[in-house]
Structure formats: C-alpha cells, structure tokens
Chain A
C-alpha cells in the first residue's frame, strides 16, 4: 500500500507535471489550495496561478474570462462550492458559452467525513451531468485520476472532474490509455454486473471477491466517464448478466445510477439497483462509519446481488 496516494494528491502532482510542458495552463483556486493540492503548482508557477479568495462565483467568471482570452483554465475547490455555490455561473459562463474551463472539484460525497453534511456534496454529478457541452469525469484510483486530468486538459471544452479524497487501491497500469467516454471492465462475469465510479469502485471490487467465493460470476465495471457514458458496455451488461448494481458516493437521484437507468430503460430494460445515499443529508463520522450507516458497503452490494439472482 506504500505507493498509494489519494486521488487529490495525484491531481496536484499531475498539474505540476503538466505545468512544465504546457505554459497555457492557468490554475484558479478559491482559498483551498492546500486541500485541493494545487499549492505546489502555485509555488512553482506563480505567474499562472491565482487565489481569488473565498469567492466561488467570481472564480468561475475569472476562469471563463481567462479561457476566452486563450488560457486553459483549471478552477478547483470543494464540490460543495463548485458546482454548489456557483452553478449559475458555471451554467451561463462556462457551459452555455462553451469555454475551455475545467472544474476540478475535490471532497465529494460522504467520504469527506467529519465536516458533515455541509461539505459532503452528494449532488454534484446530477448538477453537472445535465449541462450541455460539459463532460463529467469521476475517476477512481490515482492512475485513472492522472489520466483523466491529462485527457480533460487535452480536450478543448468544459469538463467537470470529481476528485476523491480517500486513497483507493490501484487498478490501472501506468501505461494504460484512458479515453473519455469509455468504461473499463475490471473483471468479466456473467451472473451480475457491478458498476461504480470514484471511491465506490474499490467497494464493488471487494464485494465481487466475496461473491465469487460463493460461485457467483461477477462483472465489475469502473465507469469514470459519466458523460458521455459508455452505452455499449451498459447494454452488453444488461443483455449478458441478470441485473446491474450501480454504486456511488452520491445521491441516488441524478448521478451514475440515473445515467445507467436511462440507458437500460431505453435500450435493454433489466433490473438496476442503486447503492447510494437516499433522500437524506449526511452527518459527521469517519468515511467508513458513514459508508456503513448509509449503506455504501460491500455487504449491501452482496445483498442486492443476491436479490437480483433470486428474482
């Protein structure tokens, strides 16, 4: 486990590497550079970094203005504050104006832990997924985070990247090629399909290990590209396995669960069960305590998988 770092640390490291080779990158922060790990970039590339203070609405406008005069703007804060605090600015000045701004938000979901519901953004994927022109990425391990950040910056247009705070086991190799719009099958199987993004990939992977011990064949899919979504992989899973479970550290409304259901109901209806936060705000606790209370656990995944197989 020694080589494992949290996705947000990888985000900071990747920006630093990209800063060396691309002098068009401009990083904007709203007074949380320590937490979003953009501090090193700030130290090294002070002329391409600003801290706008605690003013997220202004941060979006500044990022949009910089993009309009030719920079690749990367604005970062906690997901609760962007899109949370400045959705209108993101909608009008980035999405509708279709500008080359990357909204890189850390601290998503219950995984934020002790800070409680105020900071636990469980609605960001829903908010960002519905905006035309936006690509929405939610990588899982550090390698996927790095590749997603690189691809987001290469892509000319608005991208939302949800960057986790919890460490995640490494599933991908350094030389692997990440593509926007693709899902990745971590394990192939034929009885039931488990799909997740971000911190929940680790949990469905562990659940699949247990299920396999009982002779159940499990397909495990990491789905970092929530928009555009890999419809082929979803349809195949719907047709080839007996049902799908979607797990995410997000409300069950509007996130990946909804996105998967939109595909299956349109092309290949099947049972799709949700592991996510119900219609309720979080609270204080360690990430794992909260995951347990709100049902974001491998035990719950296993239970739902068995329900599918019984039906």
Chain B
C-alpha cells in the first residue's frame, strides 16, 4: 500500500481500533499508542517485507516493539494485516486472551515479549548480527520510546550496533517528549538527542513522526543509505495524536477514557476519517 491517503485512512482506522480496545478493556496506554500509530502504519503497510500468511518466513524483516506498552496500536496493526482475527481485539487484556497487556510472542507476527524498557535495541542488535553472520538480507526495525532512553542498556546496544556496523538495523524513536510523570526534559534530560545518537556512530534522520508522507521518505532514505552505520530515525511526534483533548498531556499515558471522553474521541476520529474518505472519492 503506497498511496499516502490510503495510509492516512489506515492510521485513522488503527487509532479508532485501539481506542475501542482500551475503552472495552478499561486498560491500556493510549497516549503512546496514538503517537506511534503513523510510524507502525508506514512500517507495516509500506516499508517492511513481511507475509502475514507466513509469519515465520525466514527472510521476513524483523520488528521489535521496544516500547512494549504501546501494544494496542501494535495489536491493531497486526490484526488488520491478518496475523490474527480482528474480532480477537475485543479480548484485549481479558482473562484467557493471547492479547495480553504487553507484546507476546505466542501471537503470530510478534517476535519477542517486550515491555520491560530498554531491551528492544539489544535484541535488534542480536537479530541484525545474526542476519549478517548468516548472509541474510532481512532488515531489523525497533521502535523505542523517548522516555525509555533513560535506560542505560539502550546505550550499550547503541554502542554495539555501530561497533558491528549493523547497517541492516533501523531504530526509530517515538519522540513525543512526554513520559508517565511529565516532560522528558524535566524528568531526565535527553537532549541533545540527535547528537547523542550521532556520537554513538549512528546515521540520524529526523522527521515528523505523525506525517505519513515524510515518514515514507525518511524510511526510504534510511534504507537507501549505502554506508555501514546503523540508522536512527528520530521521529518527532505528538503524544495522543489524533484526539485533541488527549494530545500532549502526560496524564493520558495510561488513562482510560470515560464514556463521554470515549464518544468524543471516536467522533473526532470519525470526522477525520470522513474527510479522508471524501478526498478518496473525489480522486
């Protein structure tokens, strides 16, 4: 799926699905899921070589959701791609479900159980190293939160990725500048973040992580890069993107909407969806 408008529609659908999941289960991480929805959409519908009918295909690109708490966006994408029935999203976080509150590798399409922060990049380094050792051409992607970059293990992995010249590894940081207790720069300063990654030997590409078109261009540029450095996409996003009253508020990191809020969020996204669908009909 390459058309930008189609992807915008898809990302809006993912947002609707994940809000439904969270409201239904009365549990989840709404802010970070909304901020990462566009990144996941572009990865799964445009960038990655995958085959949902054959989730264990050896040549598949690998994806690790290091910020495992944003699992609602991830499950919504995987269900929509056909890794498991969309109906199953209703079981999210309920007793007996496979769709537990953090990624679970018993679900087709999910490589690793993640959610303890600061683990994903090291795993991605191992996978990328394995691909190189085995002369395989698959690429490894991992999506990190910005708050989780305070975990020192990320920087051990960052050092290793450039040491082993893992140019088949693309890290993405969902830079929404908020974490559970507030602004990242107040909690534990990350800036200058671009310089930090550069100084660890990474190629850094910055983009608007909620702009589908720019994301596609940035991923293409990262993949096309011919040097031997690992790539880091610093994706500037808005936490809670897509629902105005949720946007940029740290307290929406892990809050469940009330009935009123739920209705308002759904109606705002449905309005946006209608705008996109009208655009599509005009085309």
Contacts and interface: CB of A to CB of B under 8 A. Distances in A.
A216 interface: no
B139 interface: no
B123 A65 contact: yes
B198 to A, nearest CB: 20
Contacts of A68: 62, 111-112, 123, 126-127, 130
| Contact-residue bracket for chain A | 20 to 34
Nearest to A95: B113
Interface in B117-175: 118-131, 133-134, 136, 140, 152-153, 156-157, 159-160, 163-164
Given A55-B160, A58-B125, A65 B153 contact: no
Interface in A133-155: none
Given A62-B125, A92-B116, A69 B157 contact: no
A161 interface: no
Interface in A51-94: 52-53, 55, 57-58, 60-71, 73, 88-89, 91-93
A248 B268 CA distance: 64
A66 B126 contact: yes
Nearest to A89: B119
Nearest to B122: A61
A52 B162 CA distance: 12
A88 to B, nearest CB: 6
B134 A69 contact: yes
Interface string B80-115: 000000000000000000000000010000011111
A61 B111 CA distance: 13
Most buried by A among B123, B124, B153: B123
Contact of B130 (A58, A66, A91): A66
Contacts of A70: 58, 130, 134
A93 B127 contact: no
A63 B111 CA distance: 14
Given A92-B115, A97-B112, A65 B156 contact: no
A98 B127 CA distance: 16
For chain B, what secondary structure do more than half of its interface residues adopt (helix, strand, loop), or is it mixed?
Answer: helix
A226 B128 CA distance: 34
A30 to B, nearest CB: 10
A26 interface: yes
Interface string B219-243: 0000000000000000000000000
A284 B221 CA distance: 57
B40 to A, nearest CB: 20
A214 interface: no
Contacts of A26: 130, 133
Nearest to A71: B130
B123 A93 contact: yes
B130 A96 contact: no
Nearest to B133: A47
A65 B130 contact: yes
Contacts of B163: 53
A65 B129 contact: yes
Interface of A: 26, 47-48, 50, 52-53, 55, 57-58, 60-71, 73, 88-89, 91-93, 96-98
20 contacts: A47-B133, A52-B156, A53-B159, A55-B156, A58-B125, A58-B153, A58-B156, A58-B160, A61-B119, A61-B120, A61-B125, A62-B125, A63-B126, A65-B127, A65-B140, A68-B111, A68-B112, A69-B134, A92-B116, A97-B113
